[in-house]
Structure 1
Amino acid sequence: MPTHLKLSNDQSYVLVVQTGPLRAEEIYQARAESLPLYQQCEKALVDYRLADISSIPFLEIDTLAAEFRNDVPKCKRMAIVRTQGKDEAHYIHLQKVCVIRGVDTQIFDTLTDAQNWLAKT
């Protein structure tokens, strides 16, 4: 599914927007493409409001989180925006695994709340 990557206007975080049903391969591809952007910042905002992560097994989420920390060691904080009430268990699991791996991660229902949280550091 389509992926859009860019630095935020103030260049304080990498914005990753993915849509449609996602597979792990698409997340890995977005990560690889975003690596150069992390030379300029240490935060990420992942917008999954139009994405569906429900088909990604929990074990694969564990692997994605572990490898994210290894692949992007500069990223210290990540805000994830989801569609409220959708894939709830997957988002909770993703947040917990990222935190365990050392990335301060929060889940949000709105882009504004996610941006405000990232701006506080």
Structure 2
Amino acid sequence: MTDRISDAVIADPKTKYGNAKASTRHFITQRVSGAINIVFVGFLAFIVLRLAGQDRPDMVATIGNAWIGLPLAALLVIVAIHMRNGMRDTLEDYFHGATYRLLMSLNTAFSLLIAVAGLAAILKLVFWG
């Protein structure tokens, strides 16, 4: 038996495809995190231009400033959420069943690892120099 949806099911408008609330939440999360990322691009460009040509102590001092480091940490979390959701869309299109669940677990673990490692590095600079 295949996991494919038949034409009869697609033709029936009363048929439900998955969890409507979770899908709506995913859609809104993806759009809002994308919009926030667009806003943060200016902030990120400012940081990159400010740090261009600087030596390590100046970079540590700049990112260690709470007015720079904390928004940078927020940006990292939002980018990790957006990255996870974007990869989820791709995985949903190409994988099903146990393979999808395994790859989605790996996707979540990778996104979480990136967020935690980045947050630890940035917050260390902000709070402990």
TM norm structure 2: 0.29
Q: Hey, which of these two has a bigger chunk of strand by percent? A: 1
Q: Hey, which of these two has a bigger chunk of helix by percent? A: 2
TM norm structure 1: 0.30
Larger Rg: 2
